Amino acid sequence: MGDAFFNEAETGLMCAERHLERAAYARFLEIRLMIEGDQLQTVLPPREDLIGNVNLPALHGGVLGSLLDVTASLALVYQAVLTNSPRLVNIDVDYLRTGRVLQTFGAAEVVRMGRRAANVRARLWQDDPERPIAVARAQFLLPQRGE
């Protein structure tokens, strides 16, 4: 591309791994990433301190929202091979089912990637990918040259 901003030696996976490594909050949640086919997926291991409702019990909605945020931004970094982090402008989360205290998976699709902004859709599931527990639409500002 001949553009100093996009480092051709970098792969999307390297960028996503570094992005995750530097995000202390995502590490605190122990979010991991994996590649399934050509898609990046995230995994959130279940943990007792992530329970929001002890009666059901269910994972905290805020934690699921955080996983959607991290999944959307990692998918964007991966697909666009971003060396710098995109910035979340807003996110709209729909909670569809109770998040049971199980492993939670996440995946996202970049709907539109512009020069300054990107629109991403993310979803989470547990045992069945066809039964999402939460979905989100997010807008990101892309890092500009020199940032």
Region from 1-9, 38-46, 80-88, 102-110 binding other proteins, contact rule CB under 8 A: 80-88
Measured CA to CA, the distance from residue 141 to residue 51 in angstroms comes to: 31
Q: 57: cis peptide before it, omega within 30°?
A: yes
**Site residues (CB under 8 A) for other proteins, limited to 36-65:** 52-53, 55, 60-63, 65
Q: In this complex, which beta carbon is closest to other proteins, that of residue 62 or of residue 129? A: 62
Tokens found for residue 71:
């999944």
Q: In this complex, which beta carbon is closest to other proteins, that of residue 44 or of residue 125? A: 44
Contacts of 135 (CB under 8 A, 6+ apart): 68, 93, 94, 96, 121, 122, 123, 124
Instruction: Please report, as ranges, the residues that interact with other proteins according to CB under 8 A.
Output: 19, 22-29, 52-53, 55, 60-63, 65-67, 69-70, 85, 87-95, 98
